[in-house]
């Protein structure tokens, strides 16, 4: 269907869904298998970071030599995907309040829907499927495209143009961390930060996001923001 010139790029964790224990466990299993590390990585702040970025940080913190990190890096990421897709039926992930309704409204208004997430692409879609909202999305920028979040935003924009003929300039990046907002800045995109992840509205205000919301529950407010620009 032809889109109406508006593009929304959604982050996944803390923005569209909450709870992803199996994703965390896939990470732990992969790190243990390829690097023999059993450390507890739950203390690391990985909000808004990409899967490859988190993996490298964990390994560097664990003192794994650079050469060894690089040798097994891709295999480790591939294993994470395998482990995740094998266990996703147990994943405790749920769409956040208002998300289904909002995605429906956007779709019915012919807004083009895409993703910008640090998740590896197969993990992103498996997670969304588990949460029952995968049908809304067909493209995006992912952790598998780049460890750097701005680069995956760029990738999502490129795919919107290439795959959907998108030529508009009303583009919204919707995410739950300062990193989501930062990643959108080089491209002058509008940003909506939501406090449904690990950051409060006060913390998100400081990022200079164009709009800061407590959640996506009030879909009328979100639609107003998106339709006004």
Burial call 187-215: b when 16+ CB within 10 Å, e when fewer: eebbbbbbbbbebeeeebeebebebbbeb
In the range 4-23, which residues lie near Mg ion by CB under 5 A?
11, 13-14
In the range 166-205, which residues lie near Mg ion by CB under 5 A?
176
Q: Which 3 state secondary structure label does DSSP give 191? A: strand
For the CB of residue 75, give the shortest distance to Mg ion in the complex, in Å: 26
* Binding of residue 51 to Mg ion (CB under 5 A): no
- Residue with Cβ nearer Mg ion (117 or 190): 117
For the CB of residue 65, give the shortest distance to Mg ion in the complex, in Å: 31
Strand order in the sheet with 170-175: 140-141, 112-116, 6-10, 170-175, 190-194, 211-213
Q: Is 164 exposed, middle or buried (0-12, 13-18, 19+ CB in 10 A)?
A: middle
For the CB of residue 48, give the shortest distance to Mg ion in the complex, in Å: 6
- Residue with Cβ nearer Mg ion (34 or 46): 46
In the range 82-111, which residues lie near Mg ion by CB under 5 A?
none
- Residue with Cβ nearer Mg ion (14 or 140): 14
**How far is Cα 229 from Cα 190, in angstroms, rounded to an integer?**
9
Pairing status of strand 211-213 against strand 190-194? parallel
- Residue with Cβ nearer Mg ion (54 or 64): 54
Interface segment toward Mg ion; rule CB under 5 A; list 3-11, 134-142, 150-158, 182-190: 3-11
Q: How many chain residues touch Mg ion (CB under 5 A)?
A: 4
For the CB of residue 176, give the shortest distance to Mg ion in the complex, in Å: 4
Expressed in percent and rounded to 5, the helix, strand and coil fractions of the chain are 50, 15, 35
Q: Which residue lies nearest Mg ion, judged by its C-beta?
A: 14
Report the chain's C-alpha Rg in angstroms.
17
Q: Would you give the binding string for Mg ion spanning residues 131-170, x where CB under 5 A is met?
A: ----------------------------------------
> Residues in the site for Mg ion, rule: CB under 5 A?
11, 13-14, 176
């Amino acid at each position: 269907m032809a889109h109406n010139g508006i593009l929304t790029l959604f982050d996944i964790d803390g923005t569209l869904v909450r709870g992803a224990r199996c994703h965390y466990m896939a990470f732990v299993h992969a790190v243990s298998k390829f690097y023999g590390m059993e450390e507890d990585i739950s203390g690391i702040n990985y909000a808004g970071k990409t899967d490859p970025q988190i993996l490298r940080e964990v390994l560097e913190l664990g003192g794994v030599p650079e050469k060894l990190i690089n040798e097994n890096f891709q295999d480790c990421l591939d294993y994470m995907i395998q482990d995740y897709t094998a266990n996703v039926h147990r994943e405790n992930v749920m769409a956040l309040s208002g998300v289904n309704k909002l995605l429906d409204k956007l779709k019915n208004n012919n807004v083009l829907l895409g993703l910008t997430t640090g998740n590896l692409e197969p993990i992103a879609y498996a997670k969304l499927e588990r949460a029952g909202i995968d049908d809304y999305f067909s493209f995006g920028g992912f952790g598998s495209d780049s460890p750097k979040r701005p680069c995956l935003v760029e990738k999502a924009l490129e795919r919107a143009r290439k795959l959907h003929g998108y030529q508009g300039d009303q583009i919204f990046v919707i995410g739950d961390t300062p990193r989501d907002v930062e990643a959108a800045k080089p491209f002058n995109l509008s940003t909506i930060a939501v406090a449904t992840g690990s950051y409060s509205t006060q913390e998100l205000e400081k990022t200079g996001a164009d709009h800061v919301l407590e959640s996506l529950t009030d879909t009328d407010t979100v639609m107003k923001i998106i339709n006004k620009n």
